[in-house]
Amino acid sequence: MEADRRPFQAVNIGLSSVESGSDRYARDNFSRPPHSNWRCNLTALSQRYNLYFMASREDILVFEPEFPFQKLGKTPKLLIPPALAEPLAFGYLDSLGDAPGPHPHAINHLLVGDLGSEEILLLSTDSGNIAAYHTKAILDAAQKDPFRFSQDGRADLVGLRPFLSHWIYESAWGLAIHREARMIAASANTPTFIQTSDPSAKITVFAFALTSPPSYPATAGGDGEPTVSSKDQTEWHKWVPAAHNETIPRRDRNYKIVLAGENGHTTNIPSISFVNTREDPDGSWLLSCDIHGDLKCWQIWKGTCFRTWDFAETCQIQKKLESPGLKAILMRKRKIKIQGCHVVSRYVNVRLQDAPNALVEVQQLSGHVTGDNDMAASTSEPEFMDTESDHAENLEPIGRTQRTSIEVETGALPPTASPEISGDDGERSQSKTCLAKRSLQSQSGLVDAKPVRIPSIPTLHLSQSHLRLINLPHSRSPHFFCANILKQELPDLYNNMQNNSLQRLNMLQQIPELGIIVIGSQLGRVAVCSLTRAIPSGILGIRVDWILPTRRQERNGARPRNHELLGIAPKQGEGWEAIEGSRRYRLMMTYSDMTVLTYEVGRGLERDEIAVTGQGRSDMEA
């Protein structure tokens, strides 16, 4: 095995298994689960339980991956049928043909995250219905053997119910969960079926009452009672924001807040994200992206847009095609926090979360960073080092001069605390870099009202093809730009998939502990990136370590032909904690033919420690 000759220590990665769709289904003439096209990330893994979720049109299939190679098999353990607040609602994509289609409630997006001390599964549908389940309740339902009651293992027959089911009127895409503030947000398209006096697209925020502290600590496998139960959604009080109100209300009831209005988005919102970091434990701020490239920072409890950034290209044709704003990630200058928010939409996404120890130190990041320098000159082809496409060989910054893949400005980031910031509402506020922790009253447990402070929000923004880093809300323009991060010249057999909808960067996942960001498109490839910080300037950056599947894996048939990528899902791997100095995660990539590629990702380990099976072995040998 040849060593990695690149001048930096890339994240270690290996192909653990390839479970082909034909092996799962065609061999026994078993029908593949149907799926819907043109959606966002349709797969997810529970971080607490051995549960893998996949959207199959309006249903959710629940699998239990088998250790050690994470095989799913063909039969799910549970099928979760749609739980609809408005069963008669129309679907947006479903209605684009000559007549309404048969699947208006097809799922657009899946998200797993922590709400208080409980892990939840959140989903949005084309009809505007959203629903949320506790993953512990899903596990309990799967263990009740639902196939005793129905041939397809329906979860409702064993008592599984969502703790939140709501209709937000138009096709729902963006999803966000704030753990500490116990808030959920969902974004919808501009009015199409339900006409209102406000033509802007809406973001609905659900803030659950904080009448008591969490009943048990949040642990990796906590079995305590849910902190938000079904009774919590029986009554929602509409919050009427006041622009002059500088305090967060007492959270003694359930509030529903709608973000829209004159400074709202004029087009569809595929991606939203809370500032889910220590900077904002009370859930006062939210980011959103639309399909025309506008990125907005909202003050939730004031109901106002604090500031807007326009990342659309100057050319109108390019603006419509490139639509910057597929995803975004929040990062800290000292500690990177990649929040659990995924911007899902036809064009745009945003995301955030905390990742202590996630920064990779680099001595010089003022010039370029690329992954194909020395390796491209190598005559031999080491395993997992496909000399061209595995790295960022096709990445080119926009402009007349052709340069390497990732370009960073030489100047440092703007200071994290600026004297004054002016928002869209014309007000000027003192900038603060941190928020005080939530104080609970010792007897009543009610959260006190408190003033709102401005957090520091280093953000990663993904567009149709490009990547930007910007320090919100202080900076007016990005300090880091990477063009065509997943650009690929495809053979003729893929020609029918080459269109803007499939090449958009609409999937983003993070592994905060390893400082890794995974960026994907429906065309079928993902970029595994490391978060970096220059020394001594402290400039934040992104380094593309790997492109998956590798060129060799594609030549060996690991990547399905003419089948788009349905979703990507990471999770800490089982059984690796005993290896001193290492921490491994698994990354599962699922394609529309039901092929699943499973990778082991980690730092502080040797590649030959990673077991491979099936097609994966030939890909790993030199």
Confidence of residue 561 (pLDDT cuts 50, 70, 90): confident
Contact 332, 472 (CB under 8 A): no
Stretch among 114-128, 232-246, 512-526 having the lowest mean pLDDT: 232-246
Query: Residue 240 burial by CB count (10 A; 0-12/13-18/19+): exposed, middle or buried?
Result: exposed
The pLDDT, as a whole number, for residue 279 is 86
Give mean pLDDT, residues 223-239. 58
Q: Please give the average per-residue pLDDT across 375-380, as a whole number.
A: 30
Higher-confidence position of 76 and 605: 76
Of 62 and 393, the structure prediction assigns the larger pLDDT to: 62
CA dist 6 → 364, 375, 400, 536, 598 (Å):
15, 6, 28, 22, 24
Given its phi and psi angles, is residue 73 left (phi above 0), alpha (psi -120 to 50 degrees) or beta? Answer: left
Region 151-178: mean pLDDT is 94
Q: Looking at per-residue confidence, does 564 or 411 come out higher?
A: 564
Q: For the segment 110-158, what is each residue's pLDDT rounded down to a tens digit? A: 999 999 999 999 999 999 999 999 999 999 999 998 988 888 899 999 9
Predicted local distance difference test score (pLDDT) of residue 7: 77
Asked if the model's pLDDT at residue 272 lies above 80, the reply is: yes
How many other CB atoms are found less than 10 A from the CB of residue 285? 29
pLDDT tops 70 at residue 182: yes
Q: Nearest to residue 352, comparing CAs of 570, 178, 130, 109? A: 178
pLDDT, residue 174, reads 96
Q: Given this model, what pLDDT does residue 465 score?
A: 84
Specify whether the CB–CB gap between 359 and 337 falls below 8 A. Answer: no
pLDDT value of residue 617: 37
Confidence class of residue 374 from pLDDT cuts 50, 70 and 90? very low
DSSP character string of 11-37: PEEEEEEEE-HHHHTGGGTPPPPP--S
pLDDT band of 25, cuts 50, 70, 90: confident
Residue 535: pLDDT band by 50, 70, 90 thresholds?
confident
Rounded mean pLDDT, 159-174? 96
SS3 state of residue 551: helix
* Mean per-residue pLDDT, 505-512: 90
Residue 412: pLDDT above 50?
no
Poorest-confidence range of 245-259, 261-275, 423-437?
Answer: 423-437
Higher pLDDT pick, 350 / 483: 483
The answer, yes or no, to whether residue 565 has pLDDT greater than 80, is yes
Residue 592 pLDDT exceeds 60: yes
Q: Which pLDDT value is given to residue 22?
A: 86
Give the amino acid at 132: A
Query: Which is more confident, 371 or 258?
Result: 258
Prediction pTM value: 0.77
Cβ–Cβ < 8 Å for 300, 284: yes
For residue 464, the model assigns a pLDDT of 82
Q: What is the mean pLDDT of the chain?
A: 74
Long-range contacts at 551-554 (CB < 8 A, ≥ 24 apart): 551/386, 551/387, 551/388, 551/389, 551/390, 552/381, 552/383, 552/384, 552/386, 552/619, 553/15, 553/597, 553/615, 553/616, 553/619, 554/389
CATH topology of domain 12-216+229-620: Methylamine Dehydrogenase; Chain H (2.130.10)
Which whole number is the average pLDDT over 543-566? Answer: 91
pLDDT of residue 150: 85
CA-closest candidate to residue 76, choices 57, 55, 58: 55
pLDDT in tens, 79-107: 999 999 999 999 998 887 655 678 999 99
| Predicted pLDDT at 328 | 58
